[in-house]
Amino acid sequence: MPELPEVETIRRTLLEHVKDLKIEEITLIWPSAVCGWQDKSFEGLATGRRIKTIERRGKYLLIMLDEDLTLIAHMRMTGRLNYFAESQEPEKHTHVVFRLEHGELHFSDVRKFGRIQAIPTPLCISESSLRKLGPEPLEKEFTPEVLKERFGKKKVFLKAALLDQTVLAGMGNIYVDESLFLAGLSPNRRVDTLSKEENLRLHRAIQNVLQAGIDARGTSFRDYRDANGEKGSFELALQVYGRGGEPCRGCGQTLERIRLAGRTTVYCSRCQN
């Protein structure tokens, strides 16, 4: 699933192509991939409107159109938004084609979990899933004190807490495992056991790992591509994710692979405690 660095990379690469362009036509190949607003169809709402900018909230893209309409895109597991400078024959798993003044935007999704929702811009936070999201981990307002406050008095594992989008927006399996390794904290530590110094380390690790992921344009193990169809390179820097059974790059001990919070989790029991 695209996480914060991947979605941010999609946002940046897509904005380069589509800013200020008008949506001239929308073809729905699989209509369930989109949601209209109340009794108005998705294509009826979005056709003829101009793309003003694209923002991101957690793992969601917010394609802001003129006349106060926003398209909220969630990639889920395998969703992609790709820009093509010229008309392109839709691929097998392409579900929506946006024909623009210049070029096309294709939304594809092998697993069919992704969705694009049209919603009035003034309501895009209060009347959508965005209202439940926790703070953005790379914003200056996200401090160690805010992280501690978001954990509250929960008695859950760190892995579960960091995957919870209502605690912190944008992180998934990859960047949670990597952040915990950098912070030297075990994924099965309870959040209420963290000292002030450990909380500070975790806050710093989260921001450093996410920024490194953005700088590398994301992680491309399987489906993820940016808006140009290009892969990221952060998988070359991974310390633990996907490396269960291999030696720790810090101490050489075999990395453990366990099931935690419903997700495969990899960590070093020597470096992380």
Of 2, 135, 137, 187, the active-site residue reads 2
pTM to 2 decimals? 0.96
Q: Determine which helix (DSSP H) or strand (DSSP E) holds 23, and give its type and residue range.
A: strand 23-28
Domain boundary among 132, 153, 169: 132
Q: What pLDDT does residue 206 have? A: 98
Domain, as residue range, for 204? 144-267
Domain boundary among 132, 153, 175: 132
Number of domains in the chain: 2
Question: Are both 148 and 63 inside the same structural domain?
Answer: no
2 catalytic per annotation: yes
Tokens of 82: 């790709």
Of 11, 49, 59, 159, the active-site residue reads 59
Question: Are both 120 and 182 inside the same structural domain?
Answer: no
Would residue 138 count as lying in a domain?
no
Q: Give dist(CA 98, CA 105) in Å, integer.
A: 5
Question: Are both 212 and 263 inside the same structural domain?
Answer: yes
Apex 190 CA angle, 262 and 156, nearest 5: 50
Question: Are both 175 and 218 inside the same structural domain?
Answer: yes
Question: Are both 157 and 107 inside the same structural domain?
Answer: no
Question: Are both 102 and 158 inside the same structural domain?
Answer: no
Residues recorded for the chain: 273
Would you give per-residue pLDDT tens digits along the chain (273 residues)? Answer: 799 999 999 999 999 999 999 999 999 999 999 999 999 999 999 999 999 999 999 999 999 999 999 999 999 989 999 999 999 999 999 999 999 999 999 999 999 999 999 999 999 999 999 999 999 999 999 999 999 999 998 899 999 999 999 999 999 999 999 999 999 999 999 999 999 999 999 999 999 999 999 999 999 877 799 999 999 999 999 999 999 999 999 999 999 999 999 999 999 999 999
Domain at 152, CATH number: 1.10.8.50
197 catalytic per annotation: no
